[in-house]
Amino acid sequence: MGNILTVQLSCDALFTRCLDCCVGRTTYVCNIEDNLVALRTKMDDLIEARNDVMRRVTIAERQQMTRLNRVQLWLTRVQGLAIEVDQLQEVKSQEVERLCLGGFCSKNCKSSYKFGKKVAKKLLEVSTLIDEGAFHVVADRQPEAAVEERPIEPTVGLESTLDKVWSCLGEENVGIIGLYGMGGVGKTTLLTQINNKFLDSRKDDFDVVIWVVVSKDLKIERIQDDIWKKIGLCDNSWRSKSLEDKAVDIFRVLSKKKFVLLLDDMWKRVDLTQLGVPLPSPTTASKVVFTTRFVEVCGAMKAHEYFKVECLAHEKAWILFQEHVERQTLESHPDIPELAETVTKECGGLPLALITIGRAMACKKQPEDWKYAIQVLRRSASEFPGMDEVYPRLKFSYDSLPGEKIRSCFLYCCLFPEDYKIHKMSLIDYWISEKILDNNDRSRAINEGYYIIGVVLHSCLLEEAGNDWVKMHDVIRDMALWIATEIEKEKENYLVEAGAGLTEVQVLQGIERWKGVRKISLMQNQIRNLPFTPICPDLQTLFLKGNRLAMITTRFFQFMPSLNVLDLSENRDLTELPAGISELVSLEHLDLSYTGINELPRELKALVNLKYLNLDHTRFLHPIPSPLISSFSMLLVLRMFNCNFSSMAYVVREVLIDELVQLDHLNELSMSLHSIRALERFLSFRKLQSCTGSLYLNVSEHSNWLDVLSLGEMKNLHTLHMQFKFLNDMKFGCVRVGTHAFQSLHTVHIHYCSKLRDLTWLALAPNVRNIGVSTCANMEEIISPGKISQVQNLDPFAKLEYLVLENLMNLKSIYWSPLPFPQLMEIRVNGCPILQKLPLDSSSAKDRKIVIRAKQHSWWANLKWEDEAAKNAFSHCWVHA
């Protein structure tokens, strides 16, 4: 008989399983409506959680941090799930209509079952993502590059010293190396060569190379901040720490690294232990290299090796000199080459003198000019300690400046601190207010000011520090101070203690020196209060910019009847002006920008000669009392960019605009407007349009659209910042580029315009150089092909130098096809995840290397290129933001 398999199954168990199956399917159908409501609620909670995470990520990324991969993965999953939930919501009505019997049954059970199951599943997924989104940390710091390349010009004669120093860097028993020599001899250049050489050689794999400028006004905290910026992150918590705590933090990090610390321009011993820098030793293998003018500093620093940076031998000096004198000049007369060699010898091999005097003689084609130069260079005119061989040679370039006016403009630059970047336009404003330049024709004076800056730059007495900035080499500044305080004392009579770390006690101790002085600069010090009453009958200029001023006594200005220029800017703790400011009846130039002042006192009405008033970035300023502004009948320049007028009533703002119209001499205006009504009122006056150079629009009202061409009537508008939270569109009619507006516009910043989808109107600004767009949630395109047909003769971005795009989550395109970008220097992209292509091809920015900055290399790696040639052309342009 065959085997018999017997299976016994309880009828109760079979019934239970069938019941569970039926009940489960029925539950999916019965709970559809409740689950849909719960899904919507939970999804709203998830979106809020996502927004909170994104807000934290944005703040972290602004602090140069990088979001964590798991955070990005979570955000991506949330975005995908949101799309899926939206898809379910789209068919919700159709599925709900199929339900019957009070929602307990369906006309299409199979369809309702599948739909109900999906809803339940998504509800579970949403709940899970909410739980997973409770991140304690959303980002971490991006590691700095081990060494940053520094700009340097071609050099002559430093090769031997460079080789010696480089060799010492490889020796275990040499940890501290000093480079000393007179000012202008090339110490900083040599240190720069050492820094850049680490780019080409691993040199025992140093972890980090740190560059710090020490300067004469030694400040331990600033040096600590520079070191920490390189090895950590100088955030708010760091800034609030004591010097001792900062030293502990620096030591904790550097003691675990093999580092090179390059300290430039030391005037006295720097206590490395006080900084928190571990002392180099054979066990740490770290190095410190510094430059100084004094061999005593090498001893005080206990340098294991130190080298004197010598002046150039004649052969090398002659080569360097010829590089800065035109060949046509040397060949213009048979006597000039021999005379030029004599001039070279008189420079004593000092590179700074060779370059300065070489450029000064570049166009001198008469032998008499060279003979005179030799005579001047042989005069001894300096008693300055340690610089008696330098200043007479450098002073020749000063003496060679064409005219007393240009020499006065040059000397004015020494009022600013060492290593200070001076804004060209601000410098010209000072010159105009000081009447060095003619203040009756401002336009002509501005042109002349730029011409003078060019002359001084070409004479190598100033250095370029960016497109709009200049600075003085410290040796040149010392020479200028020597001239202003010793040589030209009777005429100029300067007292300059800028960047000297002075407190009010130290100022009071030297107050007697103020008598008889014409120009005083106490910029960039630690002065908090001015409780005394100086007697300064001859004082014309007073710089108090960049201190910590909180209080000025009412009588401080009582005995300054000749004061013409007063700069109180960048004193953020200064909330009010003393009533005694009314004593300054001669004042023509008052700068209150970047201060914390909350009101302008009515006593300012006494300043009837005021011609320049700067209120830029006074963000706490309350409504200006009327009719204060109109009482300044002589006013030429009024700056109110990013002023806090948002708290003013409409009528108050309109009264202010009416007062501006009454200023007959107003020539230059920067303005902040906070409503559409105020903008319309402002634009109704052609006079205000014609003199406005900078405009800040910060509008929170709901606006469907703005006619952007209404702004184009401002022919001198060069800077435009816009923040329209609820502006839907910026419209313009059919226009011909080059024949209408925005010819002067060079800087545009668009922030927090959450509804704008494009900025096609930028095609109307042919000379725009800087564009910044950030935090515009719905921005999809910069230039839209759908709107560009309105613009004829299009040549967009022909002058563009910098393009910054940040936190534009929906940005897909900058421009739909490649552009030439003949002037482009840098593109910065952060927080633009779906921007997958840049308008570049192999011909864009041809023969010019541009920088493309981005925080995430993954964004760069995933960019789509026009072709392989374009990809190769820009393959080395990415730089971490």
* CB of 497 closer than 8 Å to CB of 525: yes
What is the per-residue pLDDT for 244?
93
What is the per-residue pLDDT for 142?
62
Alpha carbon distance 827, 270 (integer Å): 39
φ and ψ of 725, to 5 deg: -65, -30
What is the per-residue pLDDT for 13?
43
* CB of 787 closer than 8 Å to CB of 764: no
φ and ψ of 719, to 5 deg: -135, 130
Q: Which of 343-347, 501-505, 823-827 has the lowest mean pLDDT?
A: 343-347
* CB of 879 closer than 8 Å to CB of 826: no
Mean pLDDT score, 144-169: 84
Instruction: Specify the DSSP element, H or E, that contains 565.
Output: strand 565-567
Query: In whole numbers, what is the pLDDT of the chain averaged over residues?
Result: 84
Q: What is the pLDDT of residues 619-644, one digit of tens each?
A: 888 878 888 999 999 999 999 998 87
In a 13 Å sphere around the CA of 99, the CA atoms on its Cβ side amount to 20
What is the per-residue pLDDT for 387?
45
Cα separations in angstroms, 441 against 608, 638, 665, 845: 19, 16, 11, 40
DSSP string, 317-349: HHHHHHHTS-HHHHTSSTTHHHHHHHHHHHTTT
Q: Which of 287-301, 382-396, 476-490, 615-629 has the lowest mean pLDDT?
A: 382-396
Q: Which amino acid is present at 460?
A: C
Q: Which of 412-421, 472-481, 734-743, 870-879 has the lowest mean pLDDT?
A: 734-743
Alpha carbon distance 67, 51 (integer Å): 14
In a 13 Å sphere around the CA of 215, the CA atoms on its Cβ side amount to 19
Q: Please identify which residue in the block is written with the tokens 């981005």.
A: 854
Residue, of 486 and 29, whose pLDDT is higher: 486
What is the per-residue pLDDT for 705?
81
Q: Which of 43-57, 476-490, 864-878 has the lowest mean pLDDT?
A: 476-490
Q: What percent of the chain has pLDDT over 90?
A: 39
What is the per-residue pLDDT for 25?
55
Mean pLDDT score, 200-223: 82
Task: Band the pLDDT of 1: cuts 50, 70, 90.
Answer: very low
State yes or no: pLDDT of 645 exceeds 70: no
Q: Which of 25-39, 119-133, 194-208, 425-439 has the lowest mean pLDDT?
A: 25-39
DSSP string, 233-281: ---HHHHTS-HHHHHHHHHHHHTTS-EEEEEEEESS---HHHHTPPPP-
Mean pLDDT score, 120-145: 80
What is the per-residue pLDDT for 95?
63
Helix 442-458 crosses helix 404-412 at what angle (to 10 degrees)? 80
What is the per-residue pLDDT for 11?
43
* CB of 304 closer than 8 Å to CB of 175: yes
Q: What is the pLDDT of residues 510-544, one digit of tens each?
A: 888 899 899 999 999 999 999 999 999 999 999 99
Tokens of 487: 């040589």
Q: What is the pLDDT of residues 650-702, one digit of tens each?
A: 445 678 888 999 999 999 999 988 888 888 889 999 999 999 999 999 888 88
Residue 456: name the closest of 402, 381, 393, 521 by CA.
402
Tokens of 346: 């008189």
Tokens of 451: 């011409």
Residue 431: name the closest of 417, 420, 522, 415 by CA.
415
Task: Band the pLDDT of 99: cuts 50, 70, 90.
Answer: low
Residue 138: name the closest of 246, 41, 57 by CA.
57
Task: Band the pLDDT of 340: cuts 50, 70, 90.
Answer: very high
What is the per-residue pLDDT for 649?
43
Task: Band the pLDDT of 703: cuts 50, 70, 90.
Answer: confident
Q: Which contacts qualify for 481-484: CB closer than 8 Å, 24 or more apart?
A: 481/414, 482/382, 482/384, 482/387, 482/391, 483/395, 483/398, 483/411, 484/411, 484/414
Bridge partner residues of 542 (DSSP): 520, 566
State yes or no: pLDDT of 864 exceeds 80: yes
Task: Band the pLDDT of 414: cuts 50, 70, 90.
Answer: very high
φ and ψ of 580, to 5 deg: -70, -5
Residue 287: name the closest of 316, 248, 257 by CA.
257
**125: DSSP letter:** H
Q: What percent of the chain has pLDDT over 70?
A: 88
Q: Which residues, including other chains, have CB under 8 Å from residue 26's CB and lie 6 or more apart? A: 104
State yes or no: pLDDT of 601 exceeds 70: yes
* CB of 264 closer than 8 Å to CB of 191: yes
Cα separations in angstroms, 841 against 510, 804, 844, 869: 63, 19, 5, 8
What is the per-residue pLDDT for 834?
94
State yes or no: pLDDT of 466 exceeds 90: no
* CB of 267 closer than 8 Å to CB of 294: yes
